[in-house]
Amino acid sequence: MAQNGPENTQNGNAQNNNAKQAQLDGARVKRDEGYLTTQQGVRVDHTDDALSVGERGPTLLEDFHAREKITHFDHERIPERVVHARGAGAYGYFEPYDDSLAEFTAAKFLTTPGKQTPVFVRFSTVAGSRGSADTVRDVRGFATKFYTDEGNYDLVGNNMPVFFIQDGIKFPDFVHAVKPEPHNEIPQAASAHDTLWDFVSLQPETLHAIMWLMSDRALPRSYRMMQGFGVHTFRLVTADGKGTFVKFHWTPKLGVHSLLWDECQKVAGNDPDFNRRDLWDTIEAGDYPEWELGVQLVPEENEFDFDFDLLDATKIIPEEQVPVRPVGKMVLNRNPDNFFAETEQVAFHTANVVPGIDFTNDPLLQFRNFSYLDTQLIRLGGPNFAQLPVNRPVADVHTNQYDGYSQQKIHRGRTSYHKNTLGGGCPAIADEGVFRHYTQRLDGETIRKRAESFKNYYSQPALFWRSMSEVEAEHIVAAFSFELGKVETVEIRSAVLAQLNRVDRDLAERVAEQLGLPLPDAVPTPETTTSPALSQVNLATGSIATRKIAVLAADGVDVKGVETVMSALTNRGAIVEILAPHGGTLSGGSGGELAVDRVLNTMASVLYDAVIVPCGPDSVPTLSSDGYAVHFVAEAYKHAKAVGAFGKGVDLLRTAGVSEEFADGTDVTNSNGVISSTAAQDDLPDQFIEELVKSLAQHRDWARRTEAIPA
Ligand code: HDE
């Protein structure tokens, strides 16, 4: 049986082959072999009928197997996480590129070239319950546990670089405001309700994170296509105690891509597990997701060089000001064997640090350092959860903590205290490789007061807004309008608008117009530059790897043409599926057969990145009279996805209302990402594929105007 925990996460290629083989075998991991027993190891002869008096008589208490079975079942749920309840996890490794960080940190896992440190990563949504949909508008958690040789280091980050509040004492207020309202527990996993926006209107420090939340970043196409950020300013520390401020960044190899809001809502119904499934399936297929770890370093003597406070978690350090320096790569190459044992029971904690990494006095971080352990004590049933396989360090563990619920170890000896002579002084205190807290001199009066340096709430939201491309800006306006449109209390809508008016006049005007609200009087707004690194349209990579393409086909399809297109796209790493009105196989118009992957009416265009309609004098009329096929094409077109058609296939595009220029010869026409050619079979030009790949790689064609398409 595959081993739980971090131990066997290295050696990606072997994993790759095994995973592929297991997939072919039809089962990824074999479950325990052997005979069914009770928890005490007693074999049972029957587990389908309880022991009773006669065939129709009462059930007997002496049936210990039945009692054990139901009792265990009764206790199979643990409290879900109070935030970040829904998630998906995977194992992998981290490897530094070189030792260039060695002058800043004693952390060996960051500075030993070629050293692969096992990791477990859990991605999550924040507000929804465990059973909520993946594609909601929300921040995504991006938490990484590094099982280093010097103990576990957890980088518990998000896919957005700023947080909603500055001081941890406000966390319960913020979470209560964004979670479903307490009287009716509505809405589930959604920020579009009165209490959140009430809070926002009164707490302007939220505005920067709110801008990110209203942006496309809140709707990731895939966990594999989002950035990750440590958010806080942390500290790298050398062996001799010298500190350097640091911000951590994860950059995905596949670029940063998002869904449209309309798609998100439809995907939530079509496949609530969309992001989870995507992560699982691609790892199973050996398409291992990869991120680059980068750092922004600020020497301590430059702490006050910025027009914001480095300790304020609602601020970024613009990358144009302090560039992100690449450090190493992380690859995820193994799915967990059991969701509960691993993904549910994993316990991340910001205070899990190793020599070479330390905290700062960020008042949000300090609360987190208390909160994670505290919540895990109840969620995981006592103080010994670090012994669970997914939480267990690969470093040796020796403590004097022998007792408590669910102790898994049998500690030997008489002494569970330090210092001792009876136990030979063990465990001894090491003098090398130890964690030493960063030394700082602190002097001050006890005081409850937000630092003055934290009080600029409007500049960075303005910087974010002004750094967006026009299409991203349109999406932000639409998001504010959707969210505030759901707010029932008109005064709250106006109060939020008044806040936006202090960020940027253009933003306020556009939102006011959409909501039909009176525009507040103009007030001075911050002067800012722009930061191109904030716009995700600048973060595409040109790759089409793992992009999902639907080929719509029916009996009579051009099998040769389809095969040419399929092999060209799969060779570039894309995933191509044949969708047809019926399952099984399709017969080709000029001979041949095609295996059907999915029945058309069980899928939806929102589950794919692109659609292709191949030629087929018989197949295309079938599809043109099939409402699912027509809607499929119209919807993909509306969502600005690459749409390709060759030969007769173009007729279906016309039926679907695609209003672009189509090829009138065998040449290829690319009209706003709609790629067409009248050629088919062996004559299909390579350029058809090239244009399709180009459109797919840029993710969407935003030049297309499709407001009028009814899909
Ligand atoms: Fe968390 N957060 N958080 N958070 N957080 C938790 O810990 C908390 C914050 C983040 O996949 C909880 O074990 C406080 C920022 C992630 O298991 C809890 C404050 C960032 C995860 C908790 C914050 C995060 C959590 C709930 C403000 C991004 C999921 C269950 C002072 C840098 C980890 C648990 C996983 C989970 C507290 C703010 C990220 C309650 C008090 C900022 C990714 O302890």
CA of 413 relative to ligand 1 center, distance in Å = 38
CATH code of the domain occupying 542-697? 3.40.50.880
Q: What pLDDT is recorded for position 2? A: 39
Q: How far is the CA of 86 from the centre of ligand 1 (A)?
A: 13
Q: Is the pLDDT of residue 482 over 90?
A: yes
What b-and-e string marks burial along 5-30, b requiring 16 or more CB atoms within 10 Å of the CB?
bbeebbebeebbebbeeeeeeeeeee
The catalytic position among 84, 232, 475, 639 is: 84
Residue type, 612: I
Rounded Cα distance, 177 and 191, in Å: 9
Q: pLDDT band for position 25 (50/70/90)?
A: very low
Arithmetic mean of pLDDT, 301-329: 98
Rounded to the nearest angstrom, the distance between the alpha carbon of 166 and the centre of ligand 1 is 14
- Dist. CA 231 → ligand 1 center (Å): 12
Would the pLDDT of 464 be above 60? yes
Structure tokens at 445: 């009066």
What residues pair up with 610 in beta bridges, in sequence order?
A: 549, 642
| pLDDT at residue 31, as a whole number | 62
Mean pLDDT of 12-32: 46
Question: Quick check: 616 pLDDT over 90?
Answer: yes
pLDDT in tens, 547-588: 999 999 999 999 999 999 999 999 999 999 999 999 999 999
83 Cβ closer than 6 Å to some ligand 1 atom: yes
Q: Which atom of ligand 1 is nearest to the CA of 372?
A: 44
pLDDT of 239 strictly over 90? yes
Q: Is the CB of 699 under 6 A from ligand 1?
A: no
CB 143 less than 6 A from any atom of ligand 1: yes
**Whether the predicted pLDDT of 315 surpasses 90:** yes
Q: Where in the chain is the domain with CATH 3.40.50.880?
A: 542-697
CA distance 445 to 17: 62
Give the pLDDT band of residue 234 (cuts 50, 70, 90): very high
Q: Whose CA is nearest to atom 32 of ligand 1?
A: 157
For ligand 1, is residue 435 a contact (CB within 6 Å)?
Answer: no
Q: Is 169 in the pocket of ligand 1 (CB under 6 A)?
A: no
Q: How close is the Cα of 368 to the center of ligand 1, in Å? A: 7
Structure confidence at residue 16 (pLDDT): 41
Quote the ligand 1 centre to 131 CA distance (angstroms). Answer: 19
Helix (H, G, I), strand (E, B) or coil at 83: coil
Check pocket membership of 87 for ligand 1, CB cut-off 6 A. yes
Task: Say whether pLDDT at 5 is over 90.
Answer: no
**Chain region(s) in the chain for CATH 1.20.1370.20:** 459-538
How far is the C-alpha of 150 from the C-alpha of 353, rounded, in Å? 10
* Closest approach atom of ligand 1 to CA 371: 44
Give the whole-number percent of the chain exceeding pLDDT 70: 96
Q: Examine the pLDDT at 15 and tell me if it is beyond 50.
A: no
Is the shortest distance between the CB of 163 and ligand 1 below 6 Å? Answer: yes
Cβ 376 under 6 angstroms from ligand 1: yes
pLDDT at 490 over 80: yes
Per-residue pLDDT at 108 exceeds 90: yes
The CB of 364 under 6 Å from ligand 1? The reply is yes
CATH for 459-538, among 1.20.1370.20, 1.10.10.10, 1.20.1050.10, 3.30.450.20? 1.20.1370.20
Average pLDDT (687-709) is 94
Rounded to an integer, the average pLDDT of 667-676 is 97
Task: Tell me the pairing of strands 598-599 and 610-613.
Answer: unpaired
Over 50: is that where the pLDDT of 647 sits? Answer: yes
What is the model's pLDDT at position 102? 98
Pocket test for ligand 1, best of 84, 123, 154, 346 (most atoms within 8 A of CB): 84
Q: What atom of ligand 1 comes closest to residue 141's alpha carbon? A: 43
Is residue 84 annotated as part of the catalytic site, yes or no? yes
pLDDT at 4: 52
Q: How far apart are CA 680 and CA 658, in angstroms?
A: 20
Place of tokens 């699912």: 628
In 3D space, the residue among 630, 670, 682, 624 whose CA is nearest the CA of residue 648 turns out to be 624
- Which of 120, 156, 349, 370 has most ligand 1 atoms within 8 Å of CB, for mutation? 156
The proportion of the chain whose per-residue pLDDT surpasses 90, expressed as a percent, equals 93
C-alpha–C-alpha distance, residues 250 and 228, integer Å: 5
Q: What angle do CA 651, 655, 660 make, to 5 degrees?
A: 75
Q: How confident is the model at residue 665 (pLDDT cuts 50, 70, 90)?
A: confident
Catalytic residue, chosen from 152, 158, 352, 501, is 158
| 3-class SS of residue 316 | coil
- 672 CA to centre of ligand 1 in angstroms: 42
Which of the four pLDDT bands, split at 50, 70 and 90, describes residue 7?
A: low
pLDDT of residue 666: 77
Mean of the pLDDT values across residues 481-493?
A: 98
In angstroms, the CA 226 to CA 216 distance is 11
Residue 15 Cβ < 6 Å to ligand 1: no
Residue 155: its pLDDT value, please?
99
Looking at the domain that runs over 87-188+196-370, which CATH code has it been given?
A: 2.40.180.10
Q: Is the CB of 372 under 6 A from ligand 1?
A: yes
pLDDT digit string (tens) for 650-660?
Answer: 999 999 999 99
Pocket of ligand 1, candidates 81, 120, 160, 376: which has the most ligand atoms within 8 Å of its Cβ, to mutate? 81
Residue among 641, 692, 655 nearest 262 (CA): 641
pLDDT tens digits, 126-163: 999 999 999 999 999 999 999 999 999 999 999 999 99
Does residue 120 line the site of ligand 1, with CB under 6 A?
A: no
Q: How remote is the CA of residue 632 from the centroid of ligand 1, in Å?
A: 39
The residues of the chain that CATH labels 2.40.180.10 are: 87-188+196-370
pLDDT tens digits, 367-412: 999 999 999 999 999 999 999 999 999 999 999 999 999 999 999 9
- Assess whether pLDDT exceeds 50 at residue 197: yes
d(CA 270, CA 279): 17
pLDDT tens for residues 494-530? 999 999 999 999 999 999 999 999 999 999 999 999 9
Residue 670 falls in the annotated catalytic set: no
* pLDDT at position 11 over 60: no
Q: Which one of 348, 364, 390 would you pick to mutate in the ligand 1 pocket, going by the greatest count of ligand atoms within 8 A of its CB?
A: 348
Spell out the alpha helix ranges (H) of 129-242.
Answer: 171-178, 194-202, 207-213
Residue 73 has pLDDT above 70, yes or no: yes
Residue 553 CA to ligand 1 centre (angstroms):
47
Nearest CA to ligand 1 atom 1: 368
CA-wise closest residue to 438 among 155, 241, 151, 239: 241
Ligand 1 atom nearest to CA at 143: 43
Q: What is the pLDDT of residue 540?
A: 84
Out of 159, 213, 371, give the residue to mutate to test ligand 1, the one with the largest number of ligand atoms within 8 Å of its CB.
371
What average pLDDT does the chain have?
95
